[in-house]
Structure 1
Amino acid sequence: MSNDTNKPEPRKKISLGSKKLRGFFLSHLDKIYSAKAHLVNHLPTIKEEAHFADLKIAVRETIEDVERQMARMEVIYELLDSSPNNANCGGLAGLVDDAFEDIKKHAKENELRDMSIVFYLQNIESLEMASFQVLQMAAVKLRNKQIKQLLRENYDEAKADRTLLLLIGSKYIVSSTGS
């Protein structure tokens, strides 16, 4: 008698039908959009809490970038004949809320408060970059070059903001250790 229990099972192909893929895409687009709405509402306060002039400028530029990114995302919703839905964005919103707690904790210490702002904005930009990359991969299957391009622009902007924040953080550390 042969023992068929050792035979590997045939591999099942993963099928992301257009309906499933569209649902996944919109669900995650909603999460990022909701997180950006939460962020853009809080960034002006973060900008006011920043002490280092270059950091204030970077936060102002981030506000402008987030608003542009949200506008691009609204175009994507239109292309998909959809609209933004409030989504649970606990992870990204939690980072923003944690940043506020850290800012309050270091209210009287400019250097630590500014480093907290850099730390949290760096983390937020990194998560946004990863999110936009996954949505770009999904957009390939949606077969819409304009959606893919809009997501690419958002990714590039988040990457540029992250790089700017790294440079500012480095400059801040160098200038504060020399004092």
Structure 2
Amino acid sequence: MSPTDVKLGDNHLKSIFLEHLNSIYFGKHHLLAFFDEIETIASLQQLKLAIDELRTDTHKQIDYMDDIYHSIDAEPSKISVLGIKGVTLEAYLSVIKSGKTPLERDVFILFYLQIIEGIEVTYFKVLKNLAKEIGYNCTFLDQPFDLAVENKFLFEAIHKEYIS
């Protein structure tokens, strides 16, 4: 069977959309605590400011997603976010590992923040594609998607500046 042979009904697509929305929504809630932890560990002031900006953007994205739930007449439903939790646990353990210099810790923080933002960009892109297929107005995902892209570029720029 080829992908063109598979036909998903609207209800199935809506279910997949909602599951992905729940994943990123509760992943964002988990990330807020992670940002607090790594901000205290970071030594570079520019990195601390970027993490603070990321926290603010994350609150905005959660607000946007609350609006999405409201517009599709749905409620957030708690879902396992083991993937994000695994990445943040690995990041935390890598960053606090004994013997790392402040520079090394900052580089690890930047590396993991880029991974997390890459995951978020992918989630929002998938949501945009699903929304379009279902017939939802996918422009309501533009803001959270754009924030994720901007943050990914921000951390890439800091990383390049820091290690060069």
TM-score range, shorter chain: over 0.9
Helix, strand or coil: the match of 2:126? helix
Match of 2:58 in 1: 66
Counterpart CA distance in 2 for 1:173 and 1:83 is: 43
Task: Write out aligned runs for 1:40-59 (5 A).
Answer: 40-59=32-51
Q: CA deviation at 1:117?
A: 0.5
Q: Identical aligned pairs, as a percentage?
A: 31
Q: Residues 107 and 113 of structure 1 are in contact (CA less than 8 Å); yes or no, is this contact kept in structure 2?
A: no
Counterpart CA distance in 1 for 2:49 and 2:8 is: 43
TM-score (norm 1): 0.86
Moved more, 149-158 or 10-19: 10-19
Q: Report Cα offsets for 1:29-86 as digits up to 9, x if no partner.
A: 1111111110012211211111011100110010011111111111111111111111
For the structure 1 residues 57 and 14, does the alpha-carbon distance in structure 2 shift closer, same or farther, using more than 3 Å as the test? Answer: same
Whether 2:123 is the aligned partner of 1:128: answer no
For the structure 1 residues 138 and 113, does the alpha-carbon distance in structure 2 shift closer, same or farther, using more than 3 Å as the test? Answer: same
Q: CA deviation at 1:12?
A: 6.8
Counterpart CA distance in 2 for 1:106 and 1:19 is: 50
Match of 1:6 in 2: none
Counterpart CA distance in 1 for 2:58 and 2:84 is: 14
Counterpart CA distance in 1 for 2:72 and 2:81 is: 21
What RMSD, in angstroms, separates the aligned Cα atoms of the two structures? 1.8
Which one-letter code corresponds to 1:30 in the other structure? N
TM-score (norm 2): 0.93
**Unpaired stretches in structure 2, ≥5 consecutive residues:** none
Matching residue within 8, 12, 15 for 1:20: 12
Whether 2:156 is the aligned partner of 1:172: answer no
Helix, strand or coil: the match of 1:81? coil
For the structure 1 residues 112 and 21, does the alpha-carbon distance in structure 2 shift closer, same or farther, using more than 3 Å as the test? Answer: same
Match of 1:116 in 2: 108
Between the two proteins, the alignment pairs up a number of residues equal to 164
Counterpart CA distance in 1 for 2:4 and 2:48 is: 52
Which one-letter code corresponds to 2:116 in the other structure? I
Counterpart CA distance in 2 for 1:55 and 1:106 is: 21
Whether 2:160 is the aligned partner of 1:161: answer no
Match of 1:76 in 2: 68
Helix, strand or coil: the match of 1:136? helix
Counterpart CA distance in 2 for 1:128 and 1:52 is: 24
Q: Residues 132 and 151 of structure 1 are in contact (CA less than 8 Å); yes or no, is this contact kept in structure 2?
A: yes
**Unpaired stretches in structure 1, ≥5 consecutive residues:** 1-8, 175-179
Counterpart CA distance in 1 for 2:70 and 2:118 is: 26
- Structure number with bigger Rg: 1
For the structure 1 residues 127 and 12, does the alpha-carbon distance in structure 2 shift closer, same or farther, using more than 3 Å as the test? Answer: closer
